Structure 1
Amino acid sequence: MCDTCGCSSEGGAVLCKPGDASWHVHLHGHDDSGHGHGGHHHHADESHAHHAGGRKVAMEQDVLLHNNLLAERNRGYFDARNIFALNFLSSPGSGKTTLLEKTIPMIGSDFPVSVIEGDQQTMRDAERIDALGVPVLQVNTGTGCHLDAQMIQRAVKEMDIADRSLLCIENVGNLVCPALFDLGEALKVVVISVTEGDDKPLKYPTMFHEADVCILNKIDLLPYVPFDAVQCRENAMNVNHHLAWFELSASTGEGVDAWVAWLKAAMNRS
């Protein structure tokens, strides 16, 4: 059990390649820091459960510190090779994968693109990205609720990521725990949809405070749902007035051009 978020990672994460059922790597080897399964995989035995809150706070700080050290290693590697890494975050069903399916072909003419997919189970999203003809690796976290820096480190080692390229990391669908774990990315992109409620930024402020970009997806459904896009943007900006804000429909393509133009400009500046 992880003391940071309460999720279980007893089975460890697994790397998988689409189209190759025989290829997988289990991520539960110890690293040289002695922290076992990376920054996230600290387990509490029955005796730990009886310790006071101070003990849990210390363990949480230890988990996040170790993760952040690994994230800085990832960031140094990405910077050295001019790999622009985006961490896509959202609740389940907001349309992250559809957004990637729309974005990747529009970026691919200017920059090579690679993708790391994070889900608890299945290869479904990785198979969708694989159909686009770009390198993709699936990280199945089992009962874990987020990706961590060591998972990304191990995944990158298994991939042939080009220099001066875009790396898209699609995190596990969850607006809570992934906000706490730095992966070494250049930017955090939080995706919400008009079917979720315009008060999401107020309910999950840590995620929106940590994000650099907010994408409001599924705007084609605005005529059919009780969602106030202006109020949602205001709520998000009240939490984090530095957010870059985009409204689009990944399904119809409306508004995607502006998002892709902004992304290309950000990559060229990096």
Structure 2
Amino acid sequence: MCRVVDLRQAVLAKNDVAAQVLRTELTARGTTVVNLLSSPGSGKTALLERELLLARERGVAVAALTADLATENDAVRLARSGVPVKQVLTDGLCHLEAAMLGRHLDGWLPADTRLLFVENVGNLVCPAGYDLGESLRVVLASVTEGEDKPLKYPTAFGLAQLVVVTKTDIARAVEFDEAAFRANVEQVNPGVEVVLTSARAGEGLGVLLDRALAAGEGTGTHTPVMARQQHTHGHGHTHGHGDTHDHDREHEHEHDHEHDHGEDHVHDEDRDHPHVHPVAQTR
């Protein structure tokens, strides 16, 4: 049993080192990473698409990387915003990791990118334990998921620097109790900001972009109590899952939505069969 715990802590410690290196490198070039976590179907892709469009309107150089187990659906949607978008297919891996992210950014991320939004795999368990070198960690939950979501996933919500509620245009129909949700968030993450949004109705549009820009400037970013405990006590006290994962996946794919089909495959030294399938970006 101790061996399993030690292995998990070693994996997470290695990831933290890679995350800090990536954070330092991207900060030096003026790029802020925003890590978006949520359950599947929370509406984060729809909200992110609106935020990317708004960033373009404001003249903010922005890019997005989205990760899924399969399909390029989210990347195709995000590419409609006209910003650089890349799809990463994890082939079963339930989260992104810092070293993996760094490899996918190498040679792809435009040099002038001010904000990079990373849409993590839809999952509130595994991704919660992995720092991606982000300057802002955002957890999203739709009004349909229940007010007790923060209590069921305390690590994900407890490490969030911003909590975003989505699909508020149907809050009344599903009898969403905003006060109860806020109280549950406060219980696991005292002081974190909770923002109400609706991609369809436009409620709260631009708040995510504003908070991301502020994080890049080093202002107003919430420091969760759980994050302080993590720094003091180590990973064993804060990571809420005991799974260890195979980090040498056989088929990890990345899809660049800036270029045309037909470019040569690019091989990643840490993967057995990774492929790059560029896809034409919709302008």
Q: 1:259 to 1:170 in 2, by over 3 A?
A: closer
Shift, 1:162, TM fit: 3.0
- Verify: 1:185 aligned to 2:134, yes or no: yes
User: One-letter code of the match for 1:56?
Assistant: V
Q: Which of 112, 117, 125 is equivalent to 1:176? A: 125
Equivalent residue number for residue 102 of structure 1: 50
Kindly indicate whether residue 8 of structure 2 is the aligned counterpart of residue 54 of structure 1: no
Instruction: Name 1:43's counterpart in structure 2.
Output: none
Give the superposition deviation at 1:244: 1.9
1:17-166 to structure 2, matched below 5 A, reads 53-108=1-56, 109-163=58-112, 165-166=114-115
Provide structure 2 residue ranges, at least 5 long, that are not aligned to the other structure. Answer: 220-283
Partner residue in 1 for 2:116: 167
Deviation by residue 1:140-160 (Cα, 9 ceiling, x = unmatched): 111111111111111110313
Q: Does 1:221 align with 2:170?
A: yes
Return closer, same or farther for 1:263/1:60 CA change in 2, 3 Å cut-off: closer
In the TM superposition, residue 227 of structure 1 has moved relative to its aligned partner by 1.6
> Aligned in 2, Cα 1:264/1:150: closer, same or farther, shift over 3 Å?
closer
Which TM-score applies when normalising by structure 1?
Answer: 0.77
Instruction: Measure, in 2, the Cα distance between the counterparts of 1:264 and 1:164.
Output: 12
- Counting strand residues as a fraction of each chain, which structure ranks higher? 1
- Secondary structure of residue in 1 paired with 2:87: strand
Q: What is the CA-CA distance between 1:164 and the residue it aligns to? A: 5.4
- Provide the rounded CA distance (Å) in 2 between the counterparts of 1:76 and 1:264: 17
Aligned partner of 1:19 in structure 2 is: none
Q: CA deviation at 1:255?
A: 1.9
Stretches of structure 1 lacking an aligned partner (at least 5 in a row): 1-52
Letter of the aligned partner of 2:87 in structure 1?
Q
Distance in 2 separating the partners of 1:253 and 1:267: 24
SS in 1 for 2:186: helix
Q: How many pairs were matched up?
A: 218
> What stretches of structure 1 move > 3 A for 4+ residues in a row?
257-270
SS of 2:35 mapped into structure 1: strand
Aligned to 2:147: 198
Is the Cα contact below 8 Å between 1:139 and 1:151 reproduced in 2? no
Percent same amino acid among aligned pairs?
43
Q: Distance in 2 between matches of 1:260 and 1:113?
A: 10
2:245 is matched with none
